[in-house]
Amino acid sequence: MQLIYEKSIPGRRGVKLPASDVPSAAALPAHLLRAETAGLAEVSELDLVRHFTNLSRRNFSVDTNFYPLGSCTMKYNAKVLENSAALFAPFHPMTALLPGGEEFCQGTLGMLHDLGLLLADITGMDEVTTQPLAGAHGEMTGILLVAAYHAARGNKAKKKYVVVPDSSHGTNPASAAIAGYEIITVPTAPYGDMDLELFKKAMTDEVAAVMMTCPNTLGLFNPHIKEISDIAHSHDALMYYDGANLNAIMGKVKPGDVGFDVIHVNLHKTFGTPHGGGGPGSGPVGVKKALIPFLPQPRIIKDGQGLFQLESKRPGSIGRTANFFGNFGVMAKAYAYIIMLGREGLVRASEQAVLNANYIKERLKPYYDLPYDMTCMHECVFSASKQLAHGVHAIDIAKFLIDRGYHPPTVYFPMIVKEAIMIEPTETESKGTMDAFIEVMIEAAQMAETNPQALHDAPLTMPISRLDETKAAREQNVCCMA
C-alpha cells in the first residue's frame, strides 16, 4: 500500500479550521520562523479515511482473530469500556492543580482514589499510586521507591544489587538499571522455578530488591515464594512483584500476603483495557505501609469531609514519574471493568484463564515438547524442539498460524526455553475457538514431519510474505524524508 505521503496532492486539505474572528497579529521576526512548512500529507478527508481504514484491515486484532500472545493477556476488551473513557475526554488535568481546583474535579480524583483502593484489595497492598504510565514505567517507579526506602535508612551506598530470575521479563533488569542497580541473575531449576539454592547463595545484605513474576514467565506458580520473601527480608531486601501475570491469581492469592512489598499491575493486561497496537498501557504501583512516604506526588487523599485533595509537598516522595495523574483514560476503562466484573467476576476470570491454559497444554502435549510438564497457571510454554529435528523452527509454526487466521503465540520467550512457544488463551475465549486452534497446531506439528517446506514458505495469504529484517537493520530507512 502507498504511504499517505505518496497519496498527497499539493493544495489538498482534509479539515477546515475555524475562521479567524480576531485581527492578524504582527509577523514574528524571521529568525524565529521555519524556512519551509513541514512536509505533512495533503489529502482530503475521504482519502484519509480510506487510507487508514484499509491500513487497519492489514492487522490481526483481538476483535478479528484469536490472539494467544503469551505474557500479553490479550483478552477481549468490552465495548462499554470505550464508551466509559470517552466521558472524561473534556477534562483538563491542570484544572485540578490550580488553587482550589480539586473541588471542580471530584469525579476524576475520586475515581483514581477508588481505583487505588480496588487494586490494593486485589493485590494485598496498603496504598496504590496510579501515576505510572505502563508496566515498565511502574517497574521503574517501584524500584525507585525501593531506592528511596533504602536511602532513607542510610543504606544507599550499601545496597547495590537487584536479583532477578533468568526467566524474568527484560524490563525487570532494565528498570533496575535506571535506578542505578547492578543485576544478579539466578538460573531456573529443572522444576521450573528460580533455583532456590542458587538464590540463597546470591542473597547478601547488599541486595536492594528481588524482582519476581509469580506465576513466572513459564506460567508456573512458585510454591517457595514465602520462603524466598523471608530470605530476602532477612537481608533487608524488598520483594518486587511484576504484575504482568496477575490475571492468573485474582482472588486466589494476594502478592501482599506472601511477602511482596511493591507491585505494579498492567491494567492493559489483567483489567481488560485494549492494547492499542502497542499502547497506551497503564501501570499503577502498590506498596506496603513502609513505602507509602516515598510514593510519587501529587498523591490523592480523602479529607475529613470526604473531599478528594492533592497532596504535593511531602519531603520523602520520589517526585513525579509523569506530568499529570497517569493514563487516566486507560484507568477509567479498568475501573469500569473491575466494578462490572466485581469480586466474583474477577475470580472467575482468573479461574477460566487457568482452565483454558491447562486445556491447551494437555491437548497439545502429545505433539509438542513441554519442557516443564506440570499444572500451569494462565499460560503454558512449549518448545518446538521436536519439530526442529525436521528443520522447522518456532517461527515457521508461527507463520503457518497466520495463514490459518491465528495471531501466533509469543515465540522465543522466555529465553530459557529453546524454540519457545508461549500460549496464553485468556478467559474470554470459547472452547470452540481453542479447539479449532488446537487442531491447527496439531496440523502444523504433522506438517513439520511431512512437508516442512510448506511451513518455511508461510505465510502465503497475507499482503506480504516474510520480511528481510537484516536489510531493515542495515539500511535504517526509518522515515520517508520529503
Partner 1 sequence: MNDSHYCPHTPEEISEMLAAIGVSSVEELFAPIPAELRAKPLTIPAGMSEFETFARMQAIAGENTQGMTNYIGGGFYDHIIPSAIDHLSGRAEFYTAYTPYQPECSQGTLQALFEYQTAICRLTGLGVSNASLYDGGTACAEAAMMALRVTGRNKIVVDASVNPFSRQVLKTYLFNLDVEIVEIAPVNGALDRAGLAAVLDETVAALLVQNPNFFGTIDDFTDLAQQVHTLGGLLIASVYPVSLGILKSPGEMGVDIAVGDGQSLGNPLSFGGPSFGFIAAKKSLIRNMPGRIVGETVDRNGKRGFVLTLQAREQHIKRHKATSNICSNQGLCALRGLIFLSLVGKQGLADMAVLNRDKAEYAKARLAAIPGVKVLQSAPTFNEFTISLPKPAAALVEGMLKEGITAGVPLCDFYEGLENALVVTVTEKRSKKEIDHFATLLEAALCN
Q: What is the DSSP letter of 286?
A: E
CB of 145 to partner 1, least distance (A): 11
Cβ closest to partner 1, residue 87 vs residue 389: 87
CB of 385 to partner 1, least distance (A): 21
Residue 451 beta carbon to partner 1: minimum distance, rounded to whole angstroms: 18
Quote the least distance from Cβ 304 to partner 1, whole Å. Answer: 19
Beta carbon of residue 200, minimum distance to partner 1 (angstroms, whole number): 19
Task: Tell me the closest approach of the beta carbon of residue 27 to partner 1, in angstroms.
Answer: 10
| Residue nearer to partner 1 on the CB measure, 401 or 447 | 401
40/301 with CB nearer partner 1: 40
Instruction: Answer yes or no: are the C-beta atoms of 285 and 154 closer than 8 Å.
Output: no
Q: Report the SS3 class of residue 22.
A: coil
- Note whether 242 and 266 are within 8 A (CB): no
Residues 135, 274, 331, 215, CA torsion sign: negative
Residue 171's alpha-carbon distances to 168, 211, 260, 326, in angstroms, are 8, 11, 18, 19
**Residue 395, H or E segment:** helix 394-403
CA distance 295 to 145: 7
Give 289 or 466: the residue with its C-beta nearer to partner 1: 466
Closest by Cα among 408, 405, 395 to 452: 395
Number of neighbours of residue 410 by Cβ within 10 angstroms: 21
Give 346's contacts (C-beta < 8 A, 6+ positions apart): 122, 250, 251, 338
Cell of 438: 488446537
Between 389 and 471, whose beta carbon lies closer to partner 1?
471
Query: How near is the Cβ of 198 to partner 1 at its closest, in Å?
Result: 18
Q: Which is nearer to partner 1, 385 or 412 (CB)?
A: 412
Indicate the residue among 354 and 445 with the shorter CB distance to partner 1.
354
Q: Which three cell numbers stand for residue 13?
A: 486539505
Name the phi and psi angles at 414, rounded to 5. Answer: -65, 150
Question: Which amino acid appears at position 26 of this protein?
Answer: A
